[in-house]
């Protein structure tokens, strides 16, 4: 039996492949520092876990409303409205299993073959995978390191066309950790406000930042009606395995997402949603503590990387990724990622796994202990010195 033709265009995530290779090396007795996977290494805060246990005991074990439990949608609407200085209600919120379905469902609902989608490159691989799968045309926007991995706005203006149906923004960004500066976000809003397109604002890292709070394009005049906000619980509350996220979008699109949810998942697990209410309405100190710890690791790890000959790492403004330029080592980023895994025992990702403009860079997730991060720097330094010696011998 042959798979449908669209399956030739769907891609997977490189991080999971590297994890499998790293685990295989560990099975042979090798010690590996894991800096490949994009999830907080903190436990889900205890009060959230307790809320889920309590919900199970209370019988939240049945189907719930497809769009999400009203109390959770209210909590999401309040939180999103307050943090972005906008006014949205529970009717604008769709609760879905993770942030990813807010890429999958709206794209499925909106894109036709021939439609163009502008998206960040390097970027979360699922954007391009979905655009291609649906037969739409991916229009890659290179991120500019010297602009803190924001867009070149002149280039964006050039790439916008009559066929642009969607613009994907991601700030704070995966894989670069870049945060789109407020003035750029405002300029982007001005550029797209009068166009017949929708913005998919992937704000899954909205709470993990180290300088100014990231701007949301939904906050600018008239932009709320043409923005889909993607956010969720995975990163903010260290709940990647719970599979719960949400989208905030215009009502007509909520209806479409509801239909796709009915046809696929029915609803997010009811007891999980009760835990989501506890996450949003309960104490936020665990989030602050986690972000403070990430900041310390970011500073120490990036400083360590910058001491390694041929490595250059701009201090990221958000998320938990260090994105190092390794072009000066003279080794391709793909070969470098392999060498780091196999020789240094440091699992990391080739920037090329995030799109063609990611070549020359390596993504390290610093969601690991300070001790392990310093061990990773020491290991990389040791092998880098060896490679340099080999290279100098010709
Ligand atoms: C930019 C970005 N968007 C969305 C997601 C998906 O998050 P979730 O695990 O909640 O589906 C991720 C996860 O790595 C991400 O990095």
Residue-wise pLDDT for 244-274, tens only, equals: 999 999 999 999 999 999 999 999 999 999 9
**pLDDT at site 9:** 94
**Residues contacting 29, CB < 8 A, separation 6+:** none
pLDDT category of residue 394 using cuts at 50, 70 and 90: low
Ligand 1 pocket: which of 36, 37, 100 to mutate (most atoms within 8 A of CB): 100
pLDDT of 15 higher than 80: no
Q: How many angstroms is it from 99 CA to the middle of ligand 1? A: 5
Residue-wise pLDDT for 90-106, tens only, equals: 999 999 999 999 999 99
DSSP for residue 149: S
User: Counting atoms of ligand 1 from 1, which one is nearest the CA of 173?
Assistant: 1
As for ligand 1, residues whose beta carbon falls within 6 Å of it are: 38, 98-100, 124, 170, 174, 202, 204, 232, 234, 240, 245
Cβ atoms of 161 and 308 within 8 Å: the answer is no
DSSP for residue 98: S
pTM of the model: 0.97
Here the tokens at position 255 are: 């209806």
Helix, strand, coil distribution of the chain in percent, nearest 5: 50, 15, 35
Residue-wise pLDDT for 196-232, tens only, equals: 999 999 999 999 999 999 999 999 999 999 999 999 9
Q: How many angstroms is it from 177 CA to the middle of ligand 1? A: 13
Measured CA distances, 46 to 175, 245, 278, 282 (Å) = 29, 19, 10, 11
**pLDDT at site 12:** 84
Q: How many angstroms is it from 327 CA to the middle of ligand 1? A: 28
Q: Ligand 1 atom 14: the closest Cα is on which residue?
A: 38
Residue-wise pLDDT for 307-333, tens only, equals: 999 999 999 999 999 999 999 999 999
Dihedral, CA of residue 29, residue 35, residue 38 and residue 39, to nearest 10: 70
Strands 198-202 and 227-232, by their bridges, are: parallel
Residue-wise pLDDT for 106-156, tens only, equals: 999 999 999 999 999 999 999 999 999 999 999 999 999 988 899 999 999
Q: How many angstroms is it from 388 CA to the middle of ligand 1? A: 37
* pLDDT above 90: percentage of residues in the chain: 94
């Amino acid at each position: 039996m042959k798979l449908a033709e669209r399956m030739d265009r769907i891609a997977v995530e490189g991080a999971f492949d590297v994890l499998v290779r790293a685990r295989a090396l560990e099975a042979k007795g090798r010690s590996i520092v894991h800096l490949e996977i994009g999830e907080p290494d903190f436990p889900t805060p205890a009060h959230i876990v307790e809320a889920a246990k309590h919900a199970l005991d209370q019988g939240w074990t049945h189907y719930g409303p497809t769009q999400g439990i009203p109390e959770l949608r209210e909590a999401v609407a309040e939180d999103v409205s307050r943090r972005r200085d906008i006014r949205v209600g529970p009717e604008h919120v769709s609760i879905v299993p993770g942030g990813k379905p807010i890429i999958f469902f709206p794209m499925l609902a909106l894109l036709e073959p021939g439609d163009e989608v502008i998206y960040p490159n390097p970027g979360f691989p699922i954007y391009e995978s979905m655009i291609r799968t649906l037969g739409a045309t991916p229009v890659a926007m290179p991120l500019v390191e010297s602009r803190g991995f924001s867009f070149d706005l002149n280039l964006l203006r050039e790439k916008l066309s009559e066929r642009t149906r969607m613009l994907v923004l991601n700030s704070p960004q995966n894989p670069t950790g870049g945060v789109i500066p407020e003035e750029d976000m405002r300029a982007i809003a001005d550029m797209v406000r009068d166009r017949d397109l929708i913005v998919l604002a992937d704000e899954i890292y909205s709470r993990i930042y180290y300088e100014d709070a990231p701007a949301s394009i939904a906050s600018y005049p008239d932009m709320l009606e043409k923005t889909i906000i993607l956010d969720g619980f995975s990163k903010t509350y260290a709940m990647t395995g719970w599979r719960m996220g949400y989208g905030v979008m215009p009502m007509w699109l909520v209806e479409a997402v509801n239909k796709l949810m009915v046809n696929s998942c029915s609803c997010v697990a009811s007891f999980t949603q009760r835990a989501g209410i506890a996450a949003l309405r309960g104490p936020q100190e665990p989030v602050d503590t986690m972000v403070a710890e990430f900041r310390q690791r970011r500073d120490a790890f990036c400083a360590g990387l910058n001491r390694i000959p041929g490595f250059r790492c701009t201090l990221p403004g958000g998320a938990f990724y260090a994105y190092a330029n390794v072009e000066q080592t003279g080794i391709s980023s793909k070969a470098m990622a392999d060498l780091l895994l196999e020789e240094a025992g440091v699992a990391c990702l080739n920037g090329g796994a995030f799109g063609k403009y990611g070549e020359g860079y390596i993504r390290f997730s610093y969601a690991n202990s300070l001790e392990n991060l310093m061990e990773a720097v020491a290991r990389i330094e040791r092998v880098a010195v060896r490679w340099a010696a080999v290279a100098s011998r010709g």
